Amino acid sequence: MSAPEPSCRIPNVLNINSYVMRRLAAAGLLCAAVATATAQPAKQGQQIAAQGTSQGVAACISCHGAKGEGLGAFPRLAGTDQVYLLAQLDAFAAGSRKNPIMQPIAQNLSSIERQAVALYFSQLPAPFVASDPAQPSRSDTGA
Ligand code: HEC
């Protein structure tokens, strides 16, 4: 009797070759786990960023820019390290980082939502910054 075909495709990076992994794949369990670990949080994060939440959290992009690029007093989030972003959100939520705008926002996000939105913004490309003539160029600094 041949083994059943896996019921969904798993990214090659996982290099599934053990019997147990094959059985999990066949059962669709691994597919679900992979999807949950990658796509779901980023998708949830995107939704929070673009639409806010039903708990009254405003859409992040309304202040931080449509692509998280930031503007003036609103810092850039796009392409920023996920661990850093989450640490800031957790600090705002806990009150160890103080800001009258961000504290209530972070407090009204669940821990899962903070993780999801940090992941989402970390995955956006950092915007291209045109070279600023006021700043020394690499060659000027001897770098
Ligand atoms: C009403 C405007 C506004 C909205 C909406 C908003 N932010 Fe902010 N955010 C700010 C401001 C202003 C700061 C700068 C706070 C400071 O100077 O400490 C900030 C700072 C941050 C920081 C710290 C960045 C850094 O470089 O340290 C993070 C992370 C952040 N916001 C995430 C979010 C997320 C995620 C959302 C959506 C859930 C969001 N913000 C929604 C105004 C906003």
Residue 74 in contact with ligand 1 by CB distance below 6 A = yes
> 26 CA to middle of ligand 1, Å?
43
Instruction: Quick: pLDDT tens for 112-142.
Output: 999 999 999 999 999 876 666 665 555 666 6
pLDDT score recorded for residue 40: 83
pLDDT score recorded for residue 42: 86
Domain 41-123 belongs in CATH node 1.10.760.10: yes
Question: Bridge-partner residues for 71, per DSSP?
Answer: 74
pLDDT score recorded for residue 89: 98
Instruction: Quick: pLDDT tens for 55-64.
Output: 999 999 999 9
Burial class (CB in 10 A: 0-12, 13-18, 19+), 48: buried
Residue 34 in contact with ligand 1 by CB distance below 6 A = no
**Ligand 1 atom 31 nearest Cα:** 102
- In the chain, CATH 1.10.760.10 covers 41-123
* Distance, CA of 6 to chain centre: 29
**pLDDT (mean) for 63-86:** 96
Which phi and psi (to 5°) does residue 74 adopt?
A: -95, 110
First to last CA, the chain: 65
Instruction: Quick: pLDDT tens for 1-42.
Output: 455 554 445 454 455 566 666 666 666 665 555 555 557 888
Instruction: Quick: pLDDT tens for 40-56.
Output: 888 999 999 999 999 99
